[in-house]
């Protein structure tokens, strides 16, 4: 049986021109170390160093005017090993047309960031975005929970619960195991619901026993490996996941089988 590829669903990169400023400012404001230079080439180097088969870049539009430009860039930098989600913003005027364009450009999802884009996931204004993603078969990866760079908390567990109830056809990935530093609430309210969780900036930032309990309760088939690179060490995160006492089939599913199936990767 051919083993599943290793897929990092949650990584970041910027244009070569923007990367030095973006990484420098974010590192300075948070005190976090960056593990690559923020370029696509830097990310690909981390991918090869870690032994990861595919990385998925998750771009964030902090203004609606950035959406089309980011999507053009994301489509242009995709390779056979670096894949990209598209960007969207809650205030973008025609999300339906742009989301259809994202799909036509060969991207399989979009990224939304509750804190940088200052929205609650269950807001009515998000309906056109979610409905267009359902119509086009796109995945939506959400930042969830707190953020190291910002003091706000829009991506609360209860808001995601209401969103999932309102839009049951939406294929949602909730980053950071459903909510960074909100894992007790996630365990009580979200686990078992029809959504995916990614491991980014959660694995190693919460007790391993709590992580294993969440995987068991939610189902390993709905957990995706993510490193949040460059803000965490991709290779170290991969090795940490491999070292956990997970059943081999569950480990393979988390490390890439689930994402490969979800995104059509081979």
Residue whose entry in the numeric block shows the structure tokens 């957990």: 223
In terms of DSSP bridges, do strands 54-57 and 82-84 run parallel, antiparallel, or are they unpaired? parallel
For residue 110, the 8-state DSSP code is E
Query: Nearest Cα to 12, choosing from 186, 251, 231, 261?
Result: 231
Mention every residue, 6+ apart, whose C-beta is less than 8 A from residue 80. Answer: none
Helices (H) and strands (E) in the chain, counts: 11, 9
197: three-class secondary structure by DSSP: strand
Average pLDDT over all residues of the chain: 96
CATH fold, domain 7-263, is TIM Barrel (3.20.20)
Bond prior to 120 in cis (omega within 30° of 0): no
Q: Where are the domains of the chain?
A: 7-263
Taking the C-alpha atoms of residue 99 and residue 87, their distance in angstroms, rounded to an integer, is: 9
Q: Is the pLDDT of residue 149 over 90?
A: no
pLDDT tens sequence across 202-252: 999 999 999 999 999 999 999 999 999 999 999 999 999 999 999 999 999
Task: Dump pLDDT digits (tens) for 83-123.
Answer: 999 999 999 999 999 999 999 999 999 999 999 999 999 99
Q: Which pLDDT value is given to residue 239?
A: 97
Residue 82, beta-bridge partner list: 55
Give this prediction's pTM: 0.97
């Amino acid at each position: 049986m051919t083993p599943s590829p290793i897929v990092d669903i949650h990584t970041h990169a910027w244009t070569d021109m923007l990367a030095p400023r973006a990484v420098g400012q974010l590192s300075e404001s948070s005190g976090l170390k960056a593990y690559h230079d923020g370029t696509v080439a830097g990310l690909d180097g981390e991918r090869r160093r870690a032994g990861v088969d595919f990385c998925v870049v998750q771009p964030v539009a902090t203004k609606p005017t950035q959406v089309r430009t980011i999507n053009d860039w994301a489509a242009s930098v995709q390779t056979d090993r670096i894949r990209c989600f598209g960007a969207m913003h809650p205030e973008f005027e025609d999300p339906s047309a742009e989301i259809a364009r994202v799909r036509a450009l060969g991207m399989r999802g979009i990224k939304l960031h509750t804190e940088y884009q200052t929205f609650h996931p269950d807001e009515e204004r998000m309906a056109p975005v979610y409905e267009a993603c359902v119509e086009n078969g796109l995945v939506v990866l959400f930042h969830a929970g707190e953020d190291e760079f910002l003091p706000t908390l829009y991506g609360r567990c209860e808001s995601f619960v209401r969103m999932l109830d309102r839009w049951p056809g939406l294929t949602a990935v909730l980053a950071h195991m459903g909510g960074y530093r909100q894992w007790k609430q996630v365990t009580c309210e979200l686990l078992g619901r029809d959504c995916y969780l990614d491991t980014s900036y959660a694995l190693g930032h919460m007790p391993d026993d709590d992580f294993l309990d969440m995987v068991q309760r939610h189902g390993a088939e709905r957990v995706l490996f993510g490193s949040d690179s460059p803000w965490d060490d991709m290779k170290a995160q991969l090795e940490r996941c491999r070292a956990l006492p997970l059943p081999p089939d569950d480990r393979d599913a988390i490390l890439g089988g689930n994402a490969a199936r979800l995104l059509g990767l081979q």
